[in-house]
Structure 1
């Protein structure tokens, strides 16, 4: 991942609403949600949700697929894995074995 791509991701996620949308879609996994479900789950007016969904899609954080008259959104998990790899590429001064205790540990402290 290039630095400019990482910056675009961070810029898009710097909005609290966009961060909430992305985290919701990460929780939903490959099934994703349609736009109306996202708006309802986050108590957003549909036009507001649409604005943020478009921005996240443009940044590459979401994929969108037309389903009849609905649009289904999914989190781009490979992009987030690339971002994590980019952020941790030089962990412990390039000696990843020194950082072993950080691998495979989720935010809640449990093994992933």
Structure 2
């Protein structure tokens, strides 16, 4: 992941609706959720939600797949992993004393 990719992902997640949507999709991996289920969960109109979804897709955080008459939205866990590693490596710059507590906190829960 490079700076531009990280900025796109962070900017996409910097909106409450998009962060909520992404959290829902991560929790429903690997099966994903239909666009209709996400619209219902957010309480937005289809057109408003589509705008938010497009930002997540453009940032590489969500992938949309057609399944019959529905579109299934799935979180791209590989992008999440890349973003987390990018932040940890870039911020910690290989210093185990900075990264170890973060990793320990992630593995504890």
Q: Same fold by TM (over 0.5)?
A: yes
Deviation at residue 100 of structure 1 after TM alignment: 2.0
Following the alignment from structure 2 to structure 1, what is the Cα–Cα distance between the partners of residues 16 and 86? Answer: 23
Q: Please report the RMSD computed on the Cα atoms of aligned residues, expressed in angstroms.
A: 1.7
Following the alignment from structure 1 to structure 2, what is the Cα–Cα distance between the partners of residues 74 and 85? Answer: 20
Q: Which has the higher contact order (CA 8 A, sep 6+)?
A: 2
- Of Structure 1 and Structure 2, the greater helix share is in 2
Q: Structure 1 residues 47 and 78 mapped into 2: Cα distance closer, same or farther (>3 Å)?
A: same
Q: How many equivalent residue pairs? A: 108
- State the secondary structure of the residue aligned to 1:73: strand
Following the alignment from structure 2 to structure 1, what is the Cα–Cα distance between the partners of residues 26 and 103? Answer: 20
For structure 1, which runs of at least 5 residues remain unmatched after alignment?
none
How do residues 41-80 of structure 1 correspond to structure 2 at under 5 angstroms? 41-80=41-80
Q: Are 1:7 and 2:7 matched, yes or no? A: yes
Following the alignment from structure 2 to structure 1, what is the Cα–Cα distance between the partners of residues 44 and 35? Answer: 10
Deviation at residue 37 of structure 1 after TM alignment: 0.3
Following the alignment from structure 2 to structure 1, what is the Cα–Cα distance between the partners of residues 52 and 79? Answer: 18
Deviation at residue 92 of structure 1 after TM alignment: 4.6
How do residues 1-112 of structure 1 correspond to structure 2 at under 5 angstroms? 1-90=1-90, 92-96=92-96, 98=97, 99-106=99-106, 111-112=108-109
